[in-house]
């Protein structure tokens, strides 16, 4: 499924567009440049398109859908500031090379160009958000009632991580030299981290360093959605349970069997590098990319990340240079990197004269050059 998006006049974003969203996409920019706004707008449109696919699945089977899409209820947290009634923000999201298009303009959701999804184009989608506030998740696991006002995006991350811990009970975390294991003690779940070199005893996630706490949900959720997440259960929750409750299950006659419909997980990750040493940032990125590019046979996985880290962006050149047989090898076809500045996007993907894909990271040498210049001026 191809995707494109255009966002206009949404907070710091003046006019940004991606013609074809890549399976691995990075957004880099200064704080407040609009990276999270971009990802939240994309998450919103993908969720709406997911619901339209469920509606079309029922319609193609001759059943009326119960799902109604109300924009005001979909604008979580700060999105209402940009796309709610009376706001000037606009989004246009298209799939399948522009065959189906959703729009938000003048505080209204327009879906008429995506209402009749044909059976061959149907997809099952799962949308995931991994918040920059994830270091608080170990405390949430111990005291979920204390986080009632944490907001939609934190709750999405925490709930998904909670489910992931039931499925991913043994996880290597080579980027920090640790191993995560989930244990049950007196009906209570303990998330333990043990060093690979056994130089000290295992410790609970809530007592681990900030880098361990922030990266554990990222690695665990990538693994969960790539391999353990059950689309069968998700389909049951969204379609089969409704039909059973309405006593319409015997009337369900789909044009295409659910097992034949493509399944896609979209992950949206804020600042994967949080509290990690540069070499650990790069090692974690390689692990994430390797997992994302090699999911279970019944699905594909797409990741978009917002980052401040020039190390991560530069490291993509390493992954672009790996032999194609390496499970973490990227190509210009499955990688997109964009800098957000002054409300616009700058594509950082380029080709060398020999035709090889590279990431143009020259802009990120400027801070170090400025520091060096000032140092020289003070010591001349």
Contacts by 150-156, CB closer than 8 A, 24 or more apart: 151/76, 151/77, 152/76, 152/77, 153/40, 153/76, 153/77, 153/129, 156/128, 156/129, 156/131
Residue 270 lies in a domain: yes
Tens of pLDDT, residue by residue over 293-329, are 999 999 999 999 999 999 999 999 999 999 999 999 9
Residue 204 within any structural domain of the chain: no
Residue given tokens 């034949």 in the structure block: 260
List pLDDT tens digits, range 325-356: 999 999 999 999 999 999 999 999 999 999 99
Domain that holds residue 330: 3-144+229-378
Helix (H, G, I), strand (E, B) or coil at 124: strand
The mean per-residue pLDDT over the stretch 250-264 comes to 65
3-state secondary structure of 345: strand
Region 69-98: mean pLDDT is 95
| Closest by Cα among 77, 140, 135, 144 to 271 | 135
Residue 366 reports pLDDT greater than 80: no
Residue 363 inside a domain? The answer is yes
SS3 category, 316: helix
Does residue 362 register a pLDDT over 60? yes
Neighbours of 22 (CB within 10 A): 21
Indicate if the pLDDT at residue 95 is higher than 70: yes
Report if residue 351 sits inside a domain. yes
Mean pLDDT of 63-80: 85
Given a cut of 80, whether residue 265 has pLDDT beyond it is yes
Task: For residue 171, give the 3-state DSSP assignment.
Answer: strand
Average pLDDT estimate for 91-103: 97
Residue whose C-alpha is closest to residue 59's, from 99, 121, 115: 115
Residue 346 lies in a domain: yes
Helix boundaries (H) for the chain: 35-60, 71-74, 80-83, 137-142, 152-167, 210-223, 231-235, 241-245, 278-293, 310-321, 366-378
Residue showing tokens 């007592």? 207
Name, in order, each residue with C-beta under 8 angstroms of 228's C-beta and a sequence gap of 6 or more. Answer: 164, 167, 168
Q: Do the Cβ atoms of 29 and 341 come closer than 8 Å?
A: yes
Going from the C-alpha of 204 to that of each of 26, 136, 174, 208, 209, the distances in angstroms are 31, 14, 17, 6, 10
Q: Look-up: residue for tokens 């990227």?
A: 330
Judge whether residue 251 has pLDDT over 50. Answer: no
The pLDDT value given to residue 146: 74
Q: What pLDDT, in 10s, does the model give residues 1-52?
A: 999 999 999 999 999 999 999 999 999 999 999 999 999 999 999 999 999 9
The answer to whether the beta carbons of residues 275 and 211 sit under 8 Å apart is yes
Check whether 365 has a pLDDT greater than 80: no
Number of domains in the chain: 1
Per-residue pLDDT, averaged over 72-97, amounts to: 95
Contacts of 379 (CB under 8 A, 6+ apart): none
156 within 8 A of 165, measured Cβ to Cβ: no
Query: If we measure between CA atoms, which residue out of 187, 228, 233, 179 comes closest to residue 208?
Result: 179
Considering the entire predicted model, what is its pTM?
0.93
pLDDT at res. 259: 65
- For the stretch 197-250, pLDDT in tens is 999 999 999 999 999 999 999 999 999 999 999 988 887 676 655 554 454 544
Tell whether 149 is covered by a domain.
no
- 328 and 222 in contact (C-beta within 8 Å)? no
Q: What is the pLDDT of residues 268-296, one digit of tens each?
A: 999 999 999 999 999 999 999 999 999 99
374 within domain boundaries: yes
Domain assignment of residue 34, yes or no: yes
Residue-level pLDDT at 374: 86
According to DSSP, residue 239 is labeled: I
CA–chain centroid gap for 277, Å, is: 22
Q: How far apart are CA 357 and CA 123, in angstroms?
A: 30
Percent residues over pLDDT 90 in the chain: 76
């Amino acid at each position: 499924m191809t995707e494109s998006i255009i966002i206009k006049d949404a907070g710091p974003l003046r006019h940004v567009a991606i013609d074809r969203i890549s399976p691995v996409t990075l957004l880099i920019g200064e704080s407040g440049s609009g990276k999270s706004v971009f990802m939240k707008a994309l998450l919103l449109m993908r969720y709406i398109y997911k619901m339209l696919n469920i509606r079309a699945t029922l319609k193609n089977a001759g059943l009326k859908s119960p799902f109604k899409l109300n924009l005001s209820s979909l604008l979580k947290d700060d999105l209402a500031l940009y796309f709610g009634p009376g706001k000037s923000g606009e989004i246009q999201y298209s799939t399948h090379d522009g065959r189906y298009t959703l729009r938000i303009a003048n505080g209204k959701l327009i879906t008429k160009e995506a209402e009749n999804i044909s059976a061959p184009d149907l997809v099952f989608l799962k949308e995931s958000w991994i918040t920059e506030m994830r270091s608080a998740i170990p405390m949430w696991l111990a005291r979920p009632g204390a986080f009632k006002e944490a907001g939609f995006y934190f709750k999405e991350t925490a709930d998904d991580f909670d489910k992931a811990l039931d499925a991913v009970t043994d996880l290597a975390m080579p980027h920090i030299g640790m191993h995560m294991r989930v244990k049950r003690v007196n009906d209570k779940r303990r998330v333990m981290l043990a060093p690979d070199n056994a130089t000290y005893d295992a410790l609970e996630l809530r007592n681990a360093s900030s880098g361990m706490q922030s990266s554990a949900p990222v690695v665990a959720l990538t693994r969960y959605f790539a391999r353990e997440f059950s689309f069968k259960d998700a389909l049951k929750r969204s379609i089969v349970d409704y039909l059973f409750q309405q006593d319409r299950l015997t009337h369900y006659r789909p044009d295409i069997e659910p097992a034949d419909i493509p399944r896609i997980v979209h992950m949206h990750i804020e600042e994967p590098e949080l509290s990690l040493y540069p070499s650990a940032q790069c090692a974690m990125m390689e692990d994430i990319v390797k997992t994302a590019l090699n999911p279970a046979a019944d699905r594909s996985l797409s990741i978009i990340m917002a980052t401040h880290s020039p190390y991560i962006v530069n490291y993509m050149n390493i992954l672009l240079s790996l032999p194609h047989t390496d499970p973490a090898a990227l190509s210009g076809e499955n990688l997109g990197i964009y800098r957000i500045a002054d409300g616009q996007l700058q594509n950082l993907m380029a080709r060398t004269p020999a035709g090889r894909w590279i990431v143009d990271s020259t802009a990120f040498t400027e801070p170090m050059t400025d520091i060096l210049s000032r140092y020289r001026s003070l010591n001349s």
